[in-house]
């Protein structure tokens, strides 16, 4: 498995690379220390997994979104000291599949990398329960009794619930990414949510209640 690390703490960066470099199961193909490095490494080195800090020079969330949408061969894991629920939600919404706290063990980070490589989502136990609970409360608070969707909106929503990116949805439905973004905006307005993650949870809540409807 090819892997890269981006962190602006030189000692931590060196240490984590040394832990993974001798492994027969991992090949470290790149390192960096800025948000721009996240994009550059995904574009040029094409690692299967990119582990990144969130507190670095540059716009890290924008870099995450760019990689998640344009360089889908690379899956992203946030490796951070922040256990903030809002930070975790924003980072997941931007496109990471893993959120691991820096106080975690090497075994946990390795497990997270393996799971994300399989396409699964991983959150450190210390933040997972609070993040899920917070998202569910927000989604339920904004859920209206009945939300109606057009057939095309339902198609977009179906792929969204499968975890597809805008680019993947556009390809599957033979639409432009601009058109998919328009549908996403409409869906978020109808569901009264702020981001992609909350849209999924709100739609799941409607489906579970049997109030998800189409025109």
Q: Which residues does 12 contact at the CB level (< 8 Å), separation at least 6?
A: 102
How confident is the chain (215 residues) per 10-residue block, as mean pLDDT? 96 92 89 96 96 95 93 94 85 89 92 90 79 59 63 85 80 90 87 75 66 52
66 to 39, 47, 107, 185: CA distances (angstroms): 7, 15, 29, 18
Q: What global pTM score does this model have?
A: 0.67
Distance CA 141, CA 63 (A): 31
Question: What are the pLDDT digits (tens) for 121-162?
Answer: 888 887 776 666 666 555 555 544 466 788 888 888 888 777
According to the model, what pLDDT value does residue 215 have? 47
According to the model, what pLDDT value does residue 28 have? 95
According to the model, what pLDDT value does residue 214 have? 45
Would you say 78 and 99 are in contact if contact means Cβ atoms under 8 Å apart?
Answer: yes
């Amino acid at each position: 498995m090819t892997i890269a690390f981006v962190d602006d703490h030189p000692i931590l960066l060196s240490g984590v690379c040394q832990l993974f470099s001798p492994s027969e199961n991992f090949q470290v193909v790149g390192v960096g220390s800025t948000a721009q490095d996240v994009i550059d490494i995904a574009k040029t080195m094409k690692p299967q997994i990119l582990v990144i800090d969130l507190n670095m020079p540059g716009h890290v969330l924008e870099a995450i979104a760019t990689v998640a949408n344009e360089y889908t061969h690379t899956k992203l894991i946030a490796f951070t000291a922040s256990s903030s629920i809002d930070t975790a939600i924003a980072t997941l919404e931007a496109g990471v599949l893993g959120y691991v706290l820096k106080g975690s063990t090497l075994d946990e980070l390795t497990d997270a990398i393996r799971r994300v490589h399989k396409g699964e989502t991983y959150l450190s136990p210390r933040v997972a329960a609070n993040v899920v609970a917070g998202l569910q409360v927000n989604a339920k608070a904004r859920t209206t009794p009945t939300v109606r969707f057009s057939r095309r909106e339902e198609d977009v929503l179906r792929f969204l619930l499968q975890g597809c990116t805008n680019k993947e949805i556009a390809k599957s439905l033979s639409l432009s990414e601009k058109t998919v973004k328009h549908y996403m905006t409409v869906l978020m307005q109808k569901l009264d949510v702020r981001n992609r993650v909350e849209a999924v949870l709100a739609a799941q809540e409607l489906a579970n209640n049997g109030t998800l409807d189409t025109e």
